[in-house]
Amino acid sequence: MPIDRAAARAGAILTIDLGALRANHQRLQQELGAVPCAAVVKADGYGLGLEQAASALWQAGARSFFVALPDEGLRLRRCLQEAQIYVLGGLFAGAEPDYVESDLIPVLNSLEEVERWSAQARSLGKSLPAALQTDSGMSRLGLPDSEVECLAAEPQRLAGIETCLIMSHLACADEPTHAQNAEQLERFRWARERLPAAPASLANSSGIFLGQVFHFDLGRPGAAHYGVNPVPGKPNPMRQVVHLQAKVLQIRSIDPGRAVGYGASFRAPRPSRIATIALGYADGFLRCLSGRSFAWYDGQRLPLAGRVSMDVVTVDISDLPEDRLRPGDLVDLLGPQQGVDDLAEQAGTIGYEILTSLGRRSHRIYRDD
């Protein structure tokens, strides 16, 4: 039963286990050996709360943090004064003073950004730190080979910039046998030789598990911290961090042939009991999970019946003993029996999207024991 009034007012309860988050950082650090492990906390700490996640990861030993946007960097700086904070999205034009004032390190992705950061440094009469990202094969962000060659030929373009990291990002690290992993490794080494001597970083969560040659000087995992399996197809070495429960609002018995939910997409094949649960796609429980996912109660798997609505989802509880489940009780949507990756598979997506969708309206509880 709900333990406090905020929980009593909520439909869904998202419990985030900060101890598991710290343990996951230590597990990743163990995999990296002597190479330090940074923490990627973009998108509000993958949806779990930037400040809470970052503080826990700092406690666990992380000293370098990566966000996507300068706005996220400002927020993170207010909670971690000592951390190194990198902004993956680059140097946003017009926001240069914010990077300087909040001591954010831009990940420079183009010559144009290099030029603006160098100009900023020269106008302040001091050197400014930056990471240089090279495009080793993702064709998304980073200096293309031609711009790497340009910096090699004209190193004065980096005047005033203290290069503290050379980095790139892997496209296929979750497929260890994919040929692109070795190709990107080669292209990254090629670029590194042409850029100022600095520590290097290539591996995201899955990249760490590709082996030591991918580790360089800094690991850069995000998803694995939050419980997503970095080695798909193999047992998950990470601990589950999130637990999503939702409240039973009403239970009804229906006759065979009766329809449930929008579009009448489910019709009861037998006399059925249907529980309506206070969780919908507005809570990030994706509508495409309709007819594909399950709620769990007391170790029992209960199939969704009909479409996921904005605020509620309906579940066939006919297999539970009568009166076992009552209005106000909580069922599990993410828990020990059904993890983030399971839900992602049912939805035809990845754990990353499940995590970042959750929690906008759920009542959050941060467990720390």
Ligand X SMILES: *Cc1c(COP(=O)(O)O)cnc(C)c1O
Could you give the CA distance from residue 112 to residue 259 in angstroms, rounded to a whole number?
59
Nearer to ligand X, 163 or 272 (CB): 163
Minimum distance of ligand X from residue 250's CB (angstroms): 39
Q: How far is the CB of 60 from ligand X (least distance, A)?
A: 16
Active-site pick, 86, 262, 281, 352: 262
The nearest distance, CB 123 to ligand X, in angstroms, is: 28
3-state helix/strand/coil string of 191-224: HHHHCCCCCEECCCHHHHCCCHHHCCCCECCCHH
In the complex with ligand X, the residue whose CB is nearer, 86 or 294, is 86
Between 11 and 106, CB nearer to ligand X = 106
User: Which residue number, 187 or 220, has a Cβ lying nearer to ligand X?
Assistant: 220
Q: Tell me how far apart the alpha carbons of residues 369 and 51 are, in angstroms, rounded to a whole number.
A: 18
Active site residue 42: yes
Give the other-Cβ count within 10 Å of 273's Cβ.
17
**Secondary structure element (H or E) that encloses residue 16, with its range:** strand 12-17
Q: List the binding residues for substrate.
A: 140, 310
Q: Smaller CB distance to ligand X: residue 203 or 268?
A: 203
Nearest residue to ligand X, by Cβ distance, number only: 222
Q: Least distance (Å) from ligand X to the CB of residue 219?
A: 9
- Which of the following is catalytic: 42, 46, 247, 297? 42
Residues within the annotated binding site?
Answer: 140, 310
Task: Give the residue from 232, 178, 210, 225 showing the smallest Cα distance to 37.
Answer: 225
Contact 228, 305 (CB under 8 A): no
Distance CA 272, CA 265 (A): 15
Q: Residue 30 is inside which H or E element, if any?
A: helix 18-32
List b or e across 148-180, with b for residues whose CB sees 16 or more CB atoms inside 10 angstroms. bebbeeeeeebebbebbbbbbbbbbbbebeeeb
Question: Is 352 an annotated catalytic residue?
Answer: no
Which residues of this protein are in contact with ligand X, per CB under 6 A? 40, 42, 88, 169, 204-205, 220-224
| Residue (of 11, 13, 15) closest to 366 by Cα position | 15
Q: Least Å distance between CB 322 and ligand X?
A: 44
**Which active-site residues does the annotation give?**
42, 262
